[in-house]
Amino acid sequence: MSEEYHYDLVIVGAGPAGSSAALAAAKNGVKVALLEKENSIAETVRTSGVTWIQNIKEFGIPDDCYNPIRKFSFCSPNNEVTISDSVARAAVLDVRKTYRWLAHEAEKAGADIFVKMNVNDVIKNETGDIVGVRGTGPKGKTTFHSKMVIDASGFTSSVSKAMGFVTQWKRFGAGAEYEVKVEKVDSDTWWLMVGEQYSPAGYAWIFPLGNNIVRIGVGVGKPESNVDPTQRLKELMEEKTGPIKKLGKITPIEFHYGLIPNDGLSRKTVFNNLILVGDSAGQANPLVLEGIRYAIKYGRVAGKVSSDAIKSGNTDEKSLFPYEATWRKEIESKINSAGKVQDRWIGLTDSDWDKELDIIKELKPEEFLDFIKAEFGLSNMIKLATHHPKLAVRQLFNLVKGKTT
């Protein structure tokens, strides 16, 4: 048995990028299909859910979808610092609840959601441009014809790969975490743990969700390290290394594993009838490898640009380019600068990290957050270098600005 559908816009992947694109496009009056391969939205969690309250408010995400964070603790092998803010500026999302809320908003706006829909092929017209996708769903083979497609399939970039536009990411982060119940936790403090014992090319974390539930995880940069993050995480939890021992008894709830691109903004993201967004586009902050805010923000841009193009009757690359122009203008230089800092961090020894924390502890909360969020605006960096004239901060300023002295 087979089914056939006709839509203006087909979006592959119902994560934050896909659902946000579906919302914007449906609100703009085009017929949208949102395809998800899993049995339900966010059935599998692949991210630790760190983001920023400013963005949460901007997106309208409900208060019961996140736990606010106002204290930031760093731990290296022989040093520990905490930066305390008077107000919460960061957050840990209830990922499943947030993603389902985003999808429900798209559905309310008129998007049709298809779950258990595994897209495995693309449909091309006589000139080789994409005009739909094929997949396998609950009723067998299913064909979706469309004027445009958005690839929001995440790390796998399945649509773009099927079109021959991209290959596998060469550089990426692999993260493993357990969501657990613990005896003791400060629910408004997150922990980042750095150094060889935690991760040779990355970091470990403790992110609280409230109600004595935390996510304990390890992220490892590939191909810089061959360490298996799942194995390292198990070792850290068994040995109760560093601040993990402060949590008391740990009872696992569920395991999460995910991959996130770390190749910088190396991909072209618009083609005739096709836009790439979120992890498919490599839109991730390399410092802490988070990209949910970019996925939602530029998903909405992709949905608006796509629907405008569909309504105009012209969905060629030139018509879709305003999407790429928007995100490049807003984040390209910041992510490139953050990538340079990350390259420096990967080379730090344990003793280097101990010294790095001495510099971090002198930062004001807003300075620290601008830094960790990769908000490397010129004015931010000048203020940082002026207020903190230690050599390492001067070096950081020069690094971000692309100087060598």
Domains and CATH numbers, the chain: 2-46+96-168+263-330 (3.50.50.60), 64-93+171-261 (3.30.9.10), 337-400 (no CATH)
Q: What are the DSSP calls for 155-221, one per residue? A: GG-HHHHHTTS----SSEEEEEEEEEEES---TTEEEEEEETTTEEEEEEEEEEEETTEEEEEEEEE
Q: Report the pLDDT value the prediction gives residue 161, as an integer from 0 to 100.
A: 98
CA R_g for the chain:
21
Q: Report the pLDDT value the prediction gives residue 286, as an integer from 0 to 100.
A: 87
What six digits make up the tokens of 30? 């085009």
Residue 11: count of CB within 10 angstroms of its CB: 36
Q: Report the pLDDT value the prediction gives residue 394, as an integer from 0 to 100.
A: 47
Taking 3-state DSSP, the helix, strand and coil percentages for the chain, each rounded to the nearest 5, stand at: 40, 30, 30
Q: Report the pLDDT value the prediction gives residue 69, as an integer from 0 to 100.
A: 97
Q: Report the pLDDT value the prediction gives residue 347, as an integer from 0 to 100.
A: 80
Closest residue by Cα to residue 187 from 90, 47, 326 = 90
CB 298 within 8 A of CB 287: no
Closest residue by Cα to residue 261 from 397, 132, 160 = 160
Closest residue by Cα to residue 20 from 58, 46, 50 = 58
Task: Tell me the pLDDT of the chain (405 aa) as tens digits.
Answer: 789 999 999 999 999 999 999 999 999 999 999 999 999 999 999 999 999 999 999 999 999 999 999 999 999 999 999 999 999 999 999 999 999 999 999 999 999 999 999 999 999 999 999 999 999 999 999 999 999 999 999 999 999 999 999 999 999 999 999 999 999 999 999 999 999 999 989 999 999 999 999 999 999 999 999 999 999 999 999 999 999 999 999 999 999 999 999 998 999 999 999 999 999 999 999 888 899 999 999 999 999 999 999 999 999 999 999 999 999 999 998 898 888 888 878 888 999 899 888 878 888 888 888 878 877 665 655 565 566 555 345 455 554 555 433
**Bridge pairing between strands 213-222 and 172-182:** antiparallel
Residue showing tokens 């083609």 = 271
Q: Report the pLDDT value the prediction gives residue 340, as an integer from 0 to 100.
A: 82
Q: Report the pLDDT value the prediction gives residue 389, as an integer from 0 to 100.
A: 52
Sign of CA dihedral 254, 200, 292, 318: negative
The whole-angstrom separation of Cα 76 and Cα 80 is: 6
Q: Report the pLDDT value the prediction gives residue 155, as an integer from 0 to 100.
A: 97
The whole-angstrom separation of Cα 66 and Cα 90 is: 10
The helix (H) or strand (E) run that includes residue 35 is: strand 32-35
Q: Report the pLDDT value the prediction gives residue 40, as an integer from 0 to 100.
A: 98
CB 192 within 8 A of CB 73: yes
Closest residue by Cα to residue 11 from 206, 262, 302 = 302
Q: Report the pLDDT value the prediction gives residue 18, as an integer from 0 to 100.
A: 98
Q: Report the pLDDT value the prediction gives residue 392, as an integer from 0 to 100.
A: 47
Q: For residue 158, give Cα distances in angstroms to 32, 119, 161, 281.
A: 19, 8, 5, 12
